[in-house]
Amino acid sequence: MKLIWLGHAGFRLEIEGAVLLIDPWFTGNPSFPEKRRDEALDGVTHLLLTHGHGDHTADALSVSKSHKIPMVGIADLIGWWSNEEGIEGIGFNKGGTVDLNGAKVTMVHAVHSSSVQGKSTPIYTGTESGYMIAGEGHVIYVSGDTDIMADMDWMGDYHKPDIGILACGGFYTMDMDRAAYAAKRYFNFKTVIPCHYKTFPALAQSAQPLIDALPGVRVIEPEVLVPLDL
């Protein structure tokens, strides 16, 4: 299983027979080298979206159309884009599980907001979500943009993820201290990978507080386009 950070909250996950592009944002992403877009897209089988905000979906439509890659996510957003934009989509909802080339992807709750910008006002795109992705002997929790929530209690107990990809840059999501609290109270991670940080000055620039707060957990500060074998 291979995980590659694409900057901000974007990842390329190679698991089972799937190559998942999670929350793709290339255009205008200060963390991502635009000239390496083709490298990130090579062999991708599905686009997996946590919610509608532009820093998670900015390139989703163009990539789905140009590369004929199905888009996977909350039914409201995927259904709208399928009808209006003609993309191939798999729209499902919280508690549902889809099989993506052998990877079992279950949608779980998150606490945030979800919209795309219309001409004058935001357009509602269904609710925000996270994912439990099971395959190759692992369960990966992709938190999406969220704060700590009580649902993490049953999510950790039921799904038992051993790898956590946590949005923890603060300001828009939980920060490093809150993410560490959630990891210790609700989960038993062996590996934690922070994201949604470093991108803007308002966000945390280092994961050191998370590292310090989770002794015994392998906390990996990822580097953009450097593969992690998990």
Domains annotated on the chain, with CATH: 2-221 (3.60.15.10)
- Which DSSP state fits 217? S
| Alpha carbon distances (Å) from 52 to 121, 188, 198, 205, 214 | 14, 29, 21, 24, 31
Q: What is the pLDDT of residue 119?
A: 85
Distance CA 145, CA 148 (A): 10
Q: For residue 102, give every residue at least 6 positions away whose Cβ sits within 8 Å of its Cβ, in sequence order, or none.
A: 15, 16, 17, 18, 135
Q: Which residues of 56-74 are buried (b: 16+ CB within 10 A; e: fewer)?
A: bbbbbbebbeeeebbbbbb
Distance CA 76, CA 213 (A): 37
Per-residue pLDDT of the chain (230 residues; tens, 9 = 90+): 999 999 999 999 999 999 999 999 999 999 999 999 999 999 999 999 999 999 999 999 999 999 999 999 999 999 999 999 999 999 999 999 999 999 999 999 999 999 988 888 998 899 999 999 999 999 999 999 999 999 999 999 999 999 999 999 999 999 999 999 999 999 999 999 999 999 999 999 999 999 999 999 999 999 999 999 99
Structure tokens at 96: 């549902």
Among candidate residues 32, 50, 64, the one with its CA nearest the CA of residue 112? 50
**Across-strand partners of 20?**
13, 46
Sheet of 163-167, strand order: 97-100, 103-109, 129-135, 138-142, 163-167, 191-195, 218-219
Sheet of 71-74, strand order: 89-92, 71-74, 46-48, 18-22, 11-15, 2-5, 228-229
Q: What is the pLDDT of residue 156?
A: 98
Distance CA 97, CA 75 (A): 13
